[in-house]
């Protein structure tokens, strides 16, 4: 690979206090938990971190805090996406200044750019910084799908565009990406439940939400597959599958925050327009969580 982020990258949540300020003691506890349970890298200020309701200043302060806690133990990736190319470029430059090891940058959302518009958007970002860049394709949130031919064009023209986080259930697209892109260009699953199927088609690992709860098991699943123990990898996938499903029973990161609160790591507060699970939803989630320990 052009750049190795490891097998499991955690897209980290942002813990809040009751007044919805950043809960930094819980954040420190969470970072150390992730480092102790299999995360090879941490993504700060991604969508799972509730960036739609974080200010840029809060994102920068969170990153600086996490970087201090991590102290070089794993790679840190910073979310630097926007549906404004200028804002995405400026965020990417700021990520470089803050010492990020790489950035994740999403397909522009809401304004639905054409494939040419996506190419121009990511080209501008790639030209603005020399950091490794992970493209983020998530049509369920952006309203548009970045086609494999566009991903391949970017991967071939820009050496610092090193990977794509693919959150699309159409697995044929993984085959297209792998066949069109350079051999050293990496694909990461953006959906925990699709990690094993995507790896069978050449994906390198996962940018995960479930790793907050079951990082060791997820890491074991990926490692088993890479070592050729497909039977064990499938066994781990089947074990984790109920968790994968329940962590998306409501908009992310609401369920994973409820799960982390259930295990005593954080408080479950989210910023509006997200709302916490109701009591019936919590009972449903906890029934599944009882099969796991963190």
Residues designated as active site: 136, 165
Residue 70: both structure tokens together: 């991590």
For residue 109, give the DSSP letter: P
Helical spans, DSSP H, in 51-112:
56-70, 85-98
Residue 110: both structure tokens together: 């809401």
Gap between the Cα atoms of 134 and 155, Å rounded: 10
Residue listed under structure tokens 């449903």:
284
Gap between the Cα atoms of 38 and 36, Å rounded: 6
Q: Which residues pair with 10 in a beta bridge?
A: 42, 208
Question: Would you state the torsion angle of the CA atoms of residues 177, 179, 180, 185, taken in this order, to the nearest 10 degrees?
Answer: 70
- Contacts (Cβ under 8 Å, ≥6 apart) of 86: none
């Amino acid at each position: 690979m052009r750049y190795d982020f490891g097998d499991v990258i955690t897209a980290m949540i942002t813990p809040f206090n009751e007044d919805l300020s950043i809960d930094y003691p819980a954040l420190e506890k969470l970072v150390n938990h992730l480092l102790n349970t299999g995360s090879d890298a941490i993504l700060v200020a991604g969508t799972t971190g509730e960036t739609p309701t974080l200010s840029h200043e809060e994102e920068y302060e969170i990153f600086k805090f996490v970087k201090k806690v991590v102290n070089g133990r794993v790679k840190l990736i910073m979310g630097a996406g926007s549906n404004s190319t200028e804002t995405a470029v400026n965020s990417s430059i700021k990520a470089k200044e803050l010492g990020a090891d790489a950035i994740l940058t999403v397909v522009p959302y809401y304004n639905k750019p054409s494939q040419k518009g996506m190419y121009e958007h990511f080209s501008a970002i790639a030209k603005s910084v020399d950091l490794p860049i992970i493209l983020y394709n998530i049509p369920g949130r952006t309203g548009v799908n970045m086609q494999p031919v566009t991903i391949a064009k970017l991967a071939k023209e820009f050496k610092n565009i090193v990977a794509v986080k693919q959150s699309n259930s159409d697995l044929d697209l993984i085959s297209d990406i792998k066949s069109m892109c350079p051999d050293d260009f990496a694909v990461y699953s953006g959906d925990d439940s699709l990690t094993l199927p995507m790896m069978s088609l050449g994906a390198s690992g996962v940018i995960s939400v479930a790793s907050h709860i079951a990082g060791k098991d997820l890491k074991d699943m990926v490692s088993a597959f890479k070592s050729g123990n497909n039977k064990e990898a499938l066994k781990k996938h089947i074990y984790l599958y109920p968790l994968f499903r329940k962590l998306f029973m409501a908009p992310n990161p609401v369920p994973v925050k409820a799960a982390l609160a259930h295990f005593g790591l954080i408080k479950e507060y989210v910023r509006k327009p997200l709302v916490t699970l109701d009591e019936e939803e919590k009972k449903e989630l906890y029934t599944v969580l009882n099969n796991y320990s963190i």
